[in-house]
Amino acid sequence: MTVYFQKAGKEHTRETLQIAKDQALHRGILFILVASTSGDTGIQAAHLLHETGIRLIVITHNSGFKDPGAQEFDQNAKEEISRLGGIVCTGTMALRGVGAAIRDRYTFSPEQIIADTLRMFGHGVKVCVEMAAMASDAGLIPPVDIIAVAGSQRGADTAALIKADSSNRFFNIKVREILAKPFDF
């Protein structure tokens, strides 16, 4: 059963993470991916999932996302997540990367069409699918069912059960079930 939040927002972070944890334990899911820009959501997830047997992978923006060469993710947060057994994955966003450079120069990219289509279900759904590809590309998860958690801006308000695969097999990725998302986004 999907949990719908009336509006998108970081105030749903704790409940979204709890839904992800509960569903992973109930379904025997071994991996939870969590989007985190600065590290706050990643730390919350690491504390919640510590010693559950669920493998936490926190996905960050690529370096240079906002400012050339800069990494937005806090190094202390990375150390705390690692101490609690999580992994922090920083890599090229599957639906941005080179496609953003093409879009900026030529006003069109196939990645942008895919990203915009997924955003029709909510920004968090797009990020959940993208993270499944990124973690697969990094070799951190096999092509299995995972739970991905993301948000509309800060925090988390979306969770989805996804069959992951790598970006070169993007259309093999399957959104099996949306566990939580904002109704109005």
CATH number at residue 102: 3.40.1380.20
pLDDT for 179: 98
- pLDDT the model gives residue 102: 73
Total domains in the fold of the chain: 1
The least confident of 98-107, 147-156, 157-166 is: 98-107
Q: Is the pLDDT of residue 139 over 80?
A: yes
The mean pLDDT value for 10-17 works out to 97
Q: Give the type of residue at 21.
A: K
Question: Cα–Cα distance between 119 and 115 in angstroms, integer?
Answer: 6
Tokens of 31: 């991996």
pTM of the model: 0.90
Instruction: Please give the structure tokens belonging to residue 28.
Output: 């025997």
**Contact by Cβ (8 Å): 37, 72:** yes
Structural contact between residues 34 and 151, judged by C-beta atoms closer than 8 angstroms:
no
Residue ranges making up the domain that contains 40? 3-63+71-184
Q: Provide long-range contacts, Cβ within 8 A and 24+ apart, for 110-113.
A: none
- Beta-bridged to residue 37, according to DSSP, are none
Average pLDDT across the chain, whole number? 93
Task: Show the tokens assigned to 184.
Answer: 């109005």
**pLDDT class for 143, splitting at 50, 70, 90?**
very high
> Is the pLDDT score of 127 beyond 90?
yes
Average pLDDT for 78-101: 87
Q: Inform me whether the pLDDT recorded for 58 exceeds 80.
A: yes
